[in-house]
Amino acid sequence: MDKWWKKAVFYEIYMPSFCDGNGDGIGDFAGITSKLDYLSNLGINGIWLTPFYQSPKVDNGYDISDYYSVDPDYGTMADFEQFLSEAHRRNMKVIVDIVLNHTSSEHRWFQESRSSKDHPKRDWYIWKDPVDGKEPNNWESFMGGSAWKFDKTTGQYYYHGFAEEQVDLNWANPEVKQAMFDVMKFWLDKGVDGFRLDVINHLKVKENYPDNPFDQETNKQIHLFDMDQEGILEIIKEVSAFVHAYPDKFLVGEVGSEDLTVLKEYCGTNKLDVVFQFNLGSIPTLDVANIYKQLTDMESEYGDDQIPTLFFGSHDMSRFISRFAIEDYEEEVAKLLATLMLTAKGVPFIYYGDEIGMRDLVIDDISKMKDVQGVIAYQLAITAGKNETEALAEANLNGRDSSRSPMQWASTKHFGFSEVEPWISVPDNDVTVENQLENPESMLSFYRKLIELRKEIRALSVGNYQQLQEENNLLMYERSDEDSTVNVYLNFSHQNRKVSLDDNSNILLSSRRSSILSEQELEILPYEAIIVENRR
């Protein structure tokens, strides 16, 4: 029997930006619960929530100060439990983001750890003496700047792979491991259906703390000793065994790499069920040759117990409708990529708002920038001597506010997200659910049709590739199972492309035309996706 997640269509909800249910300008559980029917009608059967735990939100919730409580911005534990119950009532599974790698510097554990070198929790974090009056080594934070922060209380540095307020836990300490397993147990007992494990390949560092090398060509540090270290996979296997002891649970890992040979080490039997496929999902430009290469590499490199993930948007990257925009074909390209995401081999993850074609938010004043990564980039640019305009451009390039603007529900002042000023800026456009709901040609309607088709035709969710090829910017794949065979044609060019169909072919869906007669010689329009079923 197929595991539920292999057939699921997941939908990522960025907690503060989906729907404000209590009128304070911040999304919350009451708001999400009020929109579950919308998600159900879209066809979603898996929800991924970004962190909702108590947090000072230096990194918008990925800096957790209490793993056992719901942040008041998002409601109460009762609100969470009601949301979970209502989602389950609609046959939607819920996976929650969890950060095992680091805690907030405001977490009680760290406050105790920093209080004294002799405190029992001192070794819960990574503390090192200065070397020649400076940082213990040259490691850089993944957000920029040094990964070491001097703490005057005890005269030592602590390690933070990300923001200085996100302090890395010491997973070499068995007490830390037990504490985090207790956290997972708490939420599993609440009834969550699994976890998305944040930056999970950063769980350990090289214990003798050697300097990282530099790439002379790019003048960037190579993170050789502070990620993907020995011992991480053993922990992953323990996490997997623990979580999967609960029936029907799902584990997806964020492994911070675009290297498939690294990614594939983390998933499969007794490991994570899947990992996010950044080798495909984070491609910067619309390059069909690269897309084809990533699909074929995943097909050849992955074993029988491994399955890719399919996504082009998340809270950490720009909206793909903006990223891949081609003049005069913006929505056509977005529908083309949506077709790929929902019909190729893998588990699809839709990012909230992509189903209506929400565009990137551009911040016009650094005082409005909410993302710590953008603020750090701005500060580093100013320090390097760049002017205000150049520094702001760096902030928008490196920051992640672009895809975190409020969900655009209706054509009102605040897009129906809230009755008051939202926590983050809103873009200036008329892209809304309200405008698309009843329009059969809209992006939203197309997503609905795609998801419905994926559910109806088993080959589109669990079928294997019989063919996978690219020629003249036309990507084509054939997927089949014992019941059906489906061909998907994706035209990534400005020109029409011709394909020959069998007599028994039936055109199921086009991204650009409401209906097409099945012909033996089929003309595929520029940036059109066509799905064809071959009857048996």
- What would the pLDDT profile of 337-351 be if each residue is shown by its tens digit? 999 999 999 999 999
What is the pLDDT at residue 237?
98
Two tokens at 139? 């490691």
HSE, side-chain direction, 13 A CA sphere, residue 435:
15
Rounded to whole angstroms, the Cα distance separating 164 from 147 reads 7
Say what the pTM is: 0.95
Q: 1-99+353-360+404-456: which CATH number, 3.40.50.720, 2.60.290.11, 3.20.20.150, 3.20.20.80?
A: 3.20.20.80
Q: How confident is the model at residue 516 (pLDDT cuts 50, 70, 90)?
A: confident
- What digits encode the pLDDT tens for the residues 141-184? 998 899 999 999 999 999 999 999 999 999 999 999 999 999 99
What is the pLDDT at residue 57?
95
Q: Which residues of 388-411 are buried (b: 16+ CB within 10 A; e: fewer)?
A: eeebbbbbbebbbbbbbbbbbbee
What is the pLDDT at residue 1?
64
Instruction: Kindly list the catalytic residues.
Output: 198, 254
**485, exposed or middle or buried, with CB in 10 Å at 0-12, 13-18, 19+?**
buried
What is the pLDDT at residue 26?
98
Sign of dihedral through CA atoms 430, 434, 439, 445? positive
Give me the torsion for CA of 101, 103, 108, 112, rounded to 10°.
70
Rounded to whole angstroms, the Cα distance separating 31 from 350 reads 19
* Three-state secondary structure call for residue 11: strand
Question: Do 1-99+353-360+404-456 and 108-168 fold alike per CATH?
Answer: no
The conformation of residue 171, written as its DSSP 8-state character, comes to T
Among candidate residues 470, 530, 466, 468, the one with its CA nearest the CA of residue 290: 470
* CATH level 2 (architecture), domain 108-168: Alpha-Beta Complex (3.90)
Q: How confident is the model at residue 361 (pLDDT cuts 50, 70, 90)?
A: very high
Rounded to whole angstroms, the Cα distance separating 313 from 310 reads 10
Region label for 304, one of left (φ > 0), alpha (ψ between -120 and 50) or beta (otherwise): alpha
DSSP E strands in 227-384: the ranges are 250-253, 274-275, 309-310, 347-351
The conformation of residue 535, written as its DSSP 8-state character, comes to -
What would the mean pLDDT of 461-484 be, rounded to a whole number?
95
pLDDT higher than threshold 80 for residue 44:
yes
Write down the domain spans for the chain.
1-99+353-360+404-456, 108-168, 362-403, 461-534
Q: How confident is the model at residue 520 (pLDDT cuts 50, 70, 90)?
A: confident
The CA distances from residue 30 to 18, 72, 74, 79, 196, in Å, are: 11, 12, 8, 6, 22
Phi, psi for 110 (deg, rounded to 5): -70, -35
pLDDT higher than threshold 70 for residue 200:
yes
pLDDT higher than threshold 70 for residue 501:
yes
What is the pLDDT at residue 130?
98
Contacts 24+ apart (CB under 8 A), 146-151: 147/226, 151/114
Unique residue bearing structure tokens 């910017």? 473
What is the pLDDT at residue 504?
83
Highest mean pLDDT among 297-306, 498-507, 508-517: 297-306
Are residues 480 and 464 in contact, defined by beta-carbon separation less than 8 angstroms?
A: yes
Query: Regarding the domain delimited by 461-534, which CATH topology (the fold level of the hierarchy) does it fall under?
Result: Immunoglobulin-like (2.60.40)
Q: Which residues of 58-97 are buried (b: 16+ CB within 10 A; e: fewer)?
A: bbbbbbbbebeebbebbbeeebbeebbebbeeeebbbbbb
pLDDT higher than threshold 90 for residue 535:
no
The conformation of residue 319, written as its DSSP 8-state character, comes to -
What would the mean pLDDT of 368-392 be, rounded to a whole number?
93
What would the mean pLDDT of 232-242 be, rounded to a whole number?
98
